[in-house]
Amino acid sequence: MTTTMTAPAIVPNFDTSDSDRKLAIICSKGNLDMAYPGLILGNAALGEGIETHLFFTFWGLDMISKTRMNNLQFSPMGNTAMHVPGGDMHIPQAVMPAMTGMATKMLKKQIADLGVPEVPDFLEQIVAAGGHLWACRMSADMNKYALSDLRDDVEGIISATDFIEMTEGAQLLFI
Amino acid sequence: MPVIEITGKPIHVNEEGFLTEYSEWDEAIAKVLADQIGVEMTDEHWQIIKFLREDFKTEGETATSRRVQTVGGVPVKTQFTLFPKKPAKKMAYIAGLPKPKGCV
């Protein structure tokens, strides 16, 4: 292609005025599949320079528990959208022995094949990117967890009120 | 697609200013692109940019921050220090590559 005229320089606007945008993500589930949406969105937000806070509550606390975070499970039971990967055939909604273990293994492999890290590694990346991790006070009390039972990069065990105060003006995601 | 002039050469870019032709890029152009977004290039910056260029050649797409860490060997934290706020996009821009498509 020959060109006789050139346009003026076009420079992407990377430091936009919305740099005070804030995102708060409430992670309330401890199933392997439901751990990911919050992590992927949080990570994406951090990559856009958005201040991001993750609040782990109820079953979501498993994602940051030292003894449980490496062993999140996935069960196809009760999920009628489950189908064979790449196909439309539904998986029977009946409880079968060893199903959870098998399904967990399969899901972990699918996620790894996409180059997506496991949950603990993913949280480490989120913290490295400047993300903030918070544990829910009531959930920690119910589980009899102290801060030492949680990942070292969890910044604190805080009440729901603390979290709401801290995330004033933030966009909020409940997962 | 617009054609702009960088270091005296006509360069094809998209509407945001990202280069669209892999072969039109060179280090002098990268230096200008970096200047334009306020990044001062050091050896550490170049290491990432060179990795992105090489990786694109074999993979056909721009490496994500995750891949720059796991394959390129530069931790995410360092990427955020070198290319503040939006490392993946800034790295791709300077390397003359499209924005990464991957989610992670």
Structure tokens at A18: 């919305």
> Please, what is the Cα angle at B88 between B82 and B89, to 5 degrees?
105
Find the domain containing A66 and state its range.
20-75+91-174
Q: Looking at beta carbons, which residues of chain A come within 8 Å of B36?
A: 9, 11
Nearest CA in chain B to A130: B77
The verdict on a CB contact (< 8 Å) between B86 and A48 is yes
The verdict on a CB contact (< 8 Å) between A14 and B77 is no
Length of chain B: 104
Share above pLDDT 70 across residues of chain A, in percent, rounded to a whole number: 93
Q: Cα-atom radius of gyration of chain B, to the nearest Å?
A: 13
Residue B47 has pLDDT above 90, yes or no: yes
Residue A52 has pLDDT above 90, yes or no: yes
Q: Which has more pLDDT, A19 or A153? A: A153
Q: Look at residue A83 and tell me if it is in a domain.
A: no
Q: Looking at beta carbons, which residues of chain A come within 8 Å of B4?
A: 6-10
Residue pair B56/B23 in contact (Cβ under 8 Å)? The answer is no
Residue A51 to residue A131: CA distance in whole angstroms? 7
Nearest CA in chain A to B69: A125
The verdict on a CB contact (< 8 Å) between A47 and B86 is yes
The total of structural domains in chain A comes to 1
* Residue-level pLDDT at A5: 59
ipTM of the complex: 0.87
* Residue-level pLDDT at A17: 58
Could you tell me the sign of the dihedral formed by the alpha carbons of A142, A147, A148, A154, in that order?
A: positive
- Catalytic residue flag (residue B19): no
Q: Work out whether strand B3-6 and strand A171-174 pair parallel, antiparallel, or are unpaired.
A: unpaired
Q: Which has more pLDDT, A18 or A151? A: A151
B62 HSE (CA, 13 A, CB side): 24
Query: Could you tell me the residue ranges of all domains in chain B?
Result: 3-94
The verdict on a CB contact (< 8 Å) between A128 and B17 is no
Predicted confidence band at B58 (pLDDT cuts at 50, 70, 90)? Answer: very high
Average pLDDT over residues B5-31: 92
Q: What is the CATH number of the domain that holds A49?
A: 3.40.1260.10
Residue A70 has pLDDT above 80, yes or no: yes
Asked if B60 reaches chain A (Cβ–Cβ under 8 Å), the answer is no
Q: Look at residue A5 and tell me if it is in a domain.
A: no
Angle subtended by helix axes B87-94 and B27-36, to nearest 10: 140
State the catalytic residue, choosing from B43, B85, B103, B104.
B103
Contacting residues for B8 by C-beta, under 8 A, at least 6 apart: none
Nearest CA in chain B to A11: B17
What is the tens place of the pLDDT at every residue in B74-97? 999 999 999 999 999 999 999 999
What is the tens place of the pLDDT at every residue in A87-124? 888 777 777 778 889 889 999 999 999 889 999 999 99
What is the tens place of the pLDDT at every residue in A4-37? 556 667 888 887 655 689 999 999 999 999 999 9
